[in-house]
Amino acid sequence: MKNFKEQMEARVREIQERIQEYLPREEGFQKTLLEAVNYSMLAGGKKLRPLLMKETYEMFGGQEQAVWPFMAALEMIHTHSLIHDDLPAMDNDEYRRGKKTTHAVYGEAMAILAGDALLNLAYETAAQAFALCAHPDRAARALAILAEKTGVRGMIGGQSVDVENEGKPLSLPQITFIYELKTGALIQAAMMIGAALAGASEEETEKLSGIALNVGMAFQIQDDILDITGSREVLGKPVKSDEKNHKYTYASVKGLEESAKDVERYSKEAVRLLEELPCRNEFLQELILTLIHRNA
């Protein structure tokens, strides 16, 4: 796709600027907490999930501003999960996106509170969409998807299984289950919410669920590969952290070569399903392939 990189950079810049509008002012007696929240939200990142949401929304003809609160909300929930992931009780990482992690800067207790604050702020923010949506029932449907995919049947549920089994030998089905919930569920939320807000049918929204699950699996397996083969300078976070934390990953169980083949398999299935939809978004298809086959 011509000028894809430039288009990608422009879209990510716009998302970063718009998301900042939903962040709290750093004032009052809780100023330190608000600083920690904003530090984490402004630390960079690919903005993959809000980008997928917006592109899916526009693919189904969405034109309202109602998508923006949901985009910001999903990025808040994703950032909340990263803050808690990095904690000493979890992965105990000191760098994220090339910067010190939240707990390394503000302390463990404040990092926990910053993660909690972002999770709550996400739902406050998403609720703003009702006033911007000509069809409130679509916003309600989107909010239900957000709650399900980020809760005990989604991201947090996957995280719990991951934590409970840390250091234990895991089978490939167990690892796949963790990845589908811990990583895939937020990508499902992004694409399903975009479709629901734009008025897509239940059948189309469910197809987006399958596309997103394949994207999530490929994305996470590629992340495993990069944790083994990448460098901190390129990735902006410590490498070999899975090995350090005695984590069984897809790549450690299946090996690099077979894992790379599965990244290709999952990504091809995502594109195949995407092409079955009645609408097209060339940028979205290119985005999926680029993010899956990234080197950082």
pLDDT of residue 244: 57
Torsional sign, CA 122, 128, 134, 135: positive
Quick: pLDDT tens for 6-30.
999 999 999 999 999 999 999 999 9
Q: What is the CATH number of the domain that holds 103?
A: 1.10.600.10
pLDDT of residue 46: 87
Q: What are phi and psi of 61, to 5 degrees?
A: 90, 10
Burial label for 67, CB within 10 Å (0-12, 13-18, 19+), is buried
pTM (two decimals): 0.92
pLDDT of residue 36: 97
pLDDT of residue 293: 77
Task: Give the count of domains, the chain.
Answer: 1
pLDDT of residue 246: 65
Residues in CB range of 21: below 8 A, 6 or more apart? 72
Residue pointed to by tokens 């309202």? 64
d(CA 140, CA 183): 23
d(CA 190, CA 206): 13
C-alpha distance from residue 273 to each of 55, 114, 154, 225, 263 (Å): 16, 38, 22, 25, 16
C-alpha distance from residue 247 to each of 90, 165, 224 (Å): 11, 9, 10
228 lies in which domain range? 4-292
* DSSP bridge pairs for 96: 99
Residues of the chain with pLDDT under 50: 234
pLDDT of residue 35: 98
